[in-house]
Amino acid sequence: MANPMENNKAVKMLRAAEEGGYGVVGVVSYNLETIAAVVKAAEAKRSPAQILLFPWALHYSPLLIHLAAAACATAKVPIVLHLDHAQSEEEIMQAATYPFDSIMVDMSHYEKEENLEKTERITKYLHSKGIATEAEPGRINGGEDGVKDTGDLEGLLTTEEEAKKFVNTGIDFLAPAFGNVHGNYGGVENIKLDFERLKGIRSAAAAKSCLVLHGTNTFPDEIMKACVKGGMTRCNVNDLVLYKYNKYVAENTGKVPLTELMGRGTELIQEQIEHQMDVMGSTGKV
Ligand SMILES: [Zn+2]
């Protein structure tokens, strides 16, 4: 019987990034403007890209998922659809009925052993459906709009041993905690990444899982580049590509026609995504 994972587009995309030494932009998307901007940027830059949805989308409206899937299916360059931070089995089972290329099985709010057990079991199930998986060993602190905050739980840095254990569950992508946090750092001077630790994690994950980066709000280009050099094959971006859009919308809603608000808003997101494609080195790769 053919392996359902054989043609998984997300695995192919991130393996190619790893071999090519570049990173793919994973754009956290909440609306049409963002999804349209991903497609426009990827096509303009001849770059691969990923559309990231949070489980919020499952509850808000499946139409957003269908829109994102249609964007991937009709784009002239490879774009894949990823569900980030699915934090319950119920959500994951629901998500598996939609055309996601990959799903993050985020059981980081459970104790380590339980996290590993759940991750392995769910990964087997998703692989049987041809869907790639991602997990977070350790715990990346903080929350993002649409993702539950880790709350009182303490952030835990990923160790090499943990990375190995997680890779052995069969996951395709590993999101390490090495000083990165969700949400805001409260100033560039507070971004303190442990690249030595990342090096160890990378060799522990070698040849089995690709590394992916969470928590990039307010990252200067140089830090993003260092992360890609350190082995990150997909870098999630949220505020980094949305802050100009958010400011524009806040200042212009009700003052300009809705078509202009959407059109200019989309352009502002597209410009930022294109910039990140240059920074991560994915421009011209397809
Ligand atoms: Zn995350």
Going from the first residue of the chain to its last (286 residues), give the mean pLDDT of each consecutive group of 10, the final group possibly shorter.
92 97 98 98 98 97 98 98 96 97 94 93 98 91 75 78 95 96 91 96 92 96 98 97 98 98 98 98 98
Q: What is the DSSP string of 28-60?
A: E--SHHHHHHHHHHHHHHT--EEEEE-THHHHH
User: Which pLDDT does position 154 carry in this prediction?
Assistant: 66
- CATH 3.60.150.10 for the 18-280 domain, yes or no: no
**Distance from Cα 1 to the centre of ligand 1, integer Å:** 35
User: Which pLDDT does position 23 carry in this prediction?
Assistant: 98
Of 10, 6, 228, residue with least CA distance to 102 = 10
The CA–CA distances, whole Å, from 141 to 10, 154, 178 equal 26, 7, 11
User: Which pLDDT does position 109 carry in this prediction?
Assistant: 86
Residue 145 known to be catalytic = no
- Alpha helices in the chain, H assignment, sequence order: 9-20, 32-45, 56-60, 62-74, 89-95, 112-128, 160-167, 195-205, 221-229, 239-252, 258-280
User: Which pLDDT does position 140 carry in this prediction?
Assistant: 82
User: Which pLDDT does position 42 carry in this prediction?
Assistant: 99
Known binding-site positions for Zn(2+) = 85, 106, 136, 182, 214
Per-residue burial over 116-128, b if 16 or more Cβ lie within 10 Å, else e, is bebbbebbeebbe
**Distance from Cα 200 to the centre of ligand 1, integer Å:** 21
Please tell me which residue in 84, 152, 239, 278 is annotated as part of the active site.
Answer: 84
